């Protein structure tokens, strides 16, 4: 019998529920993190075509997947605060 060839390069896709349950900081800290990250993603040119639901899904996956940390979110929040007075003028 011929053996099946195993593909090791294919990434495993985790469900959102699994990512929430395995999030090391707790699921309730992920919500504010994702909310801040959605605002940052919305400003980026490459995400202008995405719907709000797609932006939210992308933000949740980035936060739960560990791509975004509090340090990144603090930088994003700081730039939002700096831009707000400029818009008011």
- The ranges assigned to domains in the chain are 26-80
For residue 60, which of 34, 24, 80, 84 has the smallest C-alpha distance?
Answer: 34
pLDDT in tens, 19-53: 888 888 877 888 888 998 999 999 889 989 999 99
Q: How far is C-alpha 85 from the chain's CA centre? A: 27
With 0.75 as the threshold, say if the pTM is over it: no
C-alpha neighbours within 13 Å on the C-beta side of residue 70: 4
Per residue in 48-89, pLDDT tens? 999 999 999 999 999 988 898 888 888 887 877 666 666 555
pLDDT value of residue 6:
56
**Regarding predicted confidence, which is higher, 2 or 43?**
43
User: What is the pLDDT at residue 54?
Assistant: 92
Q: Quick one: pLDDT at residue 49?
A: 92
């Amino acid at each position: 019998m011929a053996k099946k060839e195993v593909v090791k390069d294919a990434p495993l896709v985790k469900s959102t529920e699994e990512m929430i349950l395995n999030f090391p900081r707790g699921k309730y800290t992920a919500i504010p993190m994702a909310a801040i990250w959605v605002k940052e993603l919305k400003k980026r040119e490459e995400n202008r075509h995405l719907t709000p639901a797609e932006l939210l899904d992308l933000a949740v996956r980035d936060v739960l997947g560990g791509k975004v940390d509090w340090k990144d979110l603090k930088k994003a929040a700081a730039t939002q605060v700096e831009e707000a007075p400029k818009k008011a003028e």
